[in-house]
Chain A
Amino acid sequence: MASAGLEREETQTMTVREAIREALREEMARDEDVFLLGEDIATMGGVLDVTGDLYEEFGRDRVRDTPISEAGFIGAATGAAATGSRPVAELMFSDFMGVAMEQIMNQMAKMRYMFGGKTEMPVTVRTTEGGGMGAASQHSGTVHTWIAHFPGLMAVAPGTPAAAKGLLKSAIRSNDPVFFFENKMIYEQSGEVPTDAEFTIPLGEANVEREGTDVTVVATQRLVGESLSVAEELDGETSVEVIDLRSLYPLDTDTIVESLGKTGRMVVADESPLSYGVHAEVMARAVENAFYSLDAPIQRVGVPDTHMPFSPSLEGEVLPDGEDVRGAIDRIV
């Protein structure tokens, strides 16, 4: 497993934003069938500056600015993937997913299956999620549950720069549609990232970021870092194991079950709305597969079924953070 030998590999400190850009650069250099398309990703470098100057390096044919036309360019990416291309589409904000949803749910997700396995669908969709910027309800949503729920699509949502790089590279190399969810509040978060161009992280594998014995926190995206800080604060008092779930689908049931076998207690922290969220699926897998390991009710941390409000005082109320994780731990330990 490529991620297992992190400490032996040569690494470089980089931010999540840089790690994503580096993954794109490496995969475009490696495979000329890879190209990027999306709104304002060339000249502007992406509205949150992720694609940056890639168009200067690879030209405008491989970094394509599209019309503001999500159904059109996600559909075109789907058709291109079915005919031998390996497109990476950027959906500027995941809130715009609805515009493209027909092509995603009825074409991209179903073509391989409907055709009896006789087509590949090597398309990656990158999109940003999450509150915290005061971007209000239509630019702050977390919708990865929709995609993780829908058969035929894979979904990843990394919480660290290394996971971002390794998972995006695997997503691009995959012959299946993979959605890559970027929480916009962690673009500036730094960490060590392997520099080897062949470093990848398999889709469907969670990672134990910090070992512990009293309680397991299964977290995604921004809440991975926040949970690690909580674990640090509680050091000596409560031993917290922190898992970066990384892949929402496929979901790494084994790592969750193994951790529960050790701790018997679990908090699931994800920025989705709480009802029918990623939390529910993680809990269901735990209950189905590790019921007798449980010593306490599983706790979940997420958005309490509201939209993301505008005013900072309101947004702060519903946006889950480390304090909420700590509160959840306190309830069961």
Chain B
Amino acid sequence: MPAIDLETEDGRNEALRRMYTIRRFDETAAEHFADGEIPGFVHLYVGEEAVGVGACAALEDDDYITSTHRGHGHCIAKGLDPTVMMAELFGKREGYCNGKGGSMHIADVDAGMLGANGIVGAGPPLGTGAALTIDQKGEDRVALSFGGDGSVAQGQFFEAANLASTWDLPVVFLIENNQYGEGTPVGEQHNVDNLSDTAAAYDIPGITVDGMDVVAVNEAVAEARERARDGEGPTFIEAETYRYHGHFEGDEELYRDSAEVEYWRGRDPIDAFAERLMDRGELSEEGFEEMKDEVEATIEEAIEHAHSSTDPEPEEAYDDMFDGEVPDITAFAERLRADGGEQGGEL
């Protein structure tokens, strides 16, 4: 059974709720990043919600995904808990990675979420590896690797796609073309009209869909998932989309003008889908407001939880390097801490 069945009214409403949850999660993260409460970098998914939700809705609960540096949306789409996610963004012990990963490395392996990833193009080899496990064990599940347009220029994307197609592994490559690889337009980074044209190099289907349309993404991924399950190998799906915020929070966005941003905002995936549901009589204005209030409460709860969560103890920095204790780390840590604790004190 797909995680969210877009063939049903309930499913469509749930998809809308997920998209809106992503939107509010990231907008709220932006505020708390600006306030200095969230350390490091954050890369927001605002504008791209239809891609993550459309894709993950078509997956089953035990399917795997690999994500990107812009991963919050993939996490929520895959069903991760915004409260535990926010705690991770705040660097708290109650977060998914006990505060060791942060925005760029959120993962929940048990839920099939194999990690956001700070390296462009690194997810597809990992997704191919998950598909290799599926193939080795004869399991009935698939892997889906999200990647940005930039990842298609990476050698490791090519290597993963070639390996997966050569071995007919059950993996789907979903490329989110948000028009810019960091600050450089996609046309200046690639020499094809559509990124999906490159699928020909692997002799796998390559299609380009409207990434602002959750149903279009969902249908494409559902079909690709069937192909993968049937042993026919990977599919390359390019979803054309747009990020409303900069590459990272704080990006001055010198590479684009506001007219372009406005054009894409005019195609907003959440507004468009809500309108469709209203046209079909599946959602009322009132119902949508109620949904928004519920999401708002969820996000507020996530922030409150993050505020009341605990900072990891400094000595937890030495945990989780290996399966068991390694004497080298223990000895170095003991010597360091005997000299007065944290190296160099508080940052």
Contacts and interface: CB of A to CB of B under 8 A. Distances in A.
A154 B99 CA distance: 24
A84 B133 contact: yes
B156 interface: yes
Contacts of B101: 114-116
B105 interface: yes
Contacts of B162: 67, 69, 72
Nearest to A174: B323
B114 A114 contact: no
Nearest to A151: B321
Contact of A114 (B100, B131, B155): B100
A316 B157 CA distance: 41
Contacts of A85: 129, 132-133, 136-137
A255 B192 CA distance: 60
A116 B99 contact: yes
Interface in B69-120: 95-101, 105, 107-110, 114-115, 117-119
A73 B156 CA distance: 10
Contacts of A154: 322
Interface in B318-338: 319-323, 326-328, 331
Highest count of chain B CB atoms <10 Å: which of A33, A62, A73: A73
A75 B163 CA distance: 11
A119 B107 contact: yes
Given A76-B129, A79-B132, A84-B133, A152 B122 contact: no
Interface residues of B, number: 52
Interface string B129-172: 11111111100000100000000000110011011001100000
Q: Identify which of A112, A117, A154 gathers the most chain B CB atoms within 10 Å of its CB.
A: A117
Given A80-B130, A82-B109, A114 B115 contact: yes
Contacts of B196: none
Contacts of A76: 125-126, 128-129, 132, 160, 163
A176 B96 contact: no
Contacts of A175: 323
Interface in A16-58: 33, 35
Given A61-B136, A72-B159, A174-B323, A115 B115 contact: yes
Interface string A76-88: 1111111111010
A82 B143 CA distance: 13
Contacts of A250: 326-328
A71 interface: yes
B155 A71 contact: yes
B331 A253 contact: yes
A113 interface: yes
B323 A75 contact: no
A11 interface: no
Residue among B118, B122, B126 with max Cβ neighbours from chain A (10 Å) = B126
A212 interface: no
A64 B108 CA distance: 29
Contacts of B114: 79, 82-83
Contacts of A119: 107, 109
A191 interface: no
From A66, A84, A87, A251, name the one whose CB has the most chain B CB atoms within 10 angstroms.
A84
A114 B97 contact: yes
A259 interface: no
Contact of A84 (B99, B137, B320, B326): B137
A112 B323 CA distance: 9
A123 to B, nearest CB: 9
Interface residues of A, number: 49
A298 B323 CA distance: 34
B125 A75 contact: yes
Given A61-B136, A67-B162, A118-B97, A82 B320 contact: no
B163 A107 contact: no
B246 interface: no
Contacts of A111: 107, 115
A12 interface: no
Contacts of A103: 122, 125-126, 156
Nearest to B108: A118
A129 interface: no
Given A103-B122, A114-B107, A71 B159 contact: yes
A75 B126 contact: yes
B104 to A, nearest CB: 9
B66 interface: yes
Contact of B156 (A67, A102, A176): A102
A120 interface: yes
B97 A115 contact: yes
Contact of A83 (B64, B122, B321, B323): B64
Given A72-B160, A82-B130, A204-B326, A116 B125 contact: no
A116 B109 contact: no
A154 B328 CA distance: 11
Contact of B100 (A61, A77, A107, A113): A113
Interface of B: 64, 66, 95-101, 105, 107-110, 114-115, 117-119, 122, 124-137, 143, 155-156, 159-160, 162-163, 166-167, 319-323, 326-328, 331
Q: Which 9 A-B pairs have the closest CB atoms?
A: A79-B129, A75-B125, A72-B159, A117-B320, A116-B98, A79-B126, A116-B97, A76-B129, A175-B323
Given A106-B119, A118-B110, 5 more contacts: A67-B163, A72-B163, A76-B160, A116-B97, A152-B322
26 contacts: A33-B136, A61-B135, A61-B136, A67-B162, A71-B125, A71-B159, A72-B162, A74-B125, A75-B159, A75-B160, A76-B128, A76-B160, A79-B128, A79-B129, A79-B132, A80-B130, A87-B132, A102-B119, A103-B125, A103-B156, A112-B322, A114-B97, A114-B115, A118-B96, A250-B327, A250-B328
Interface of A: 33, 35, 61-62, 64, 66-67, 69, 71-85, 87, 102-103, 106-107, 111-120, 151-152, 154, 174-176, 204, 249-251, 253
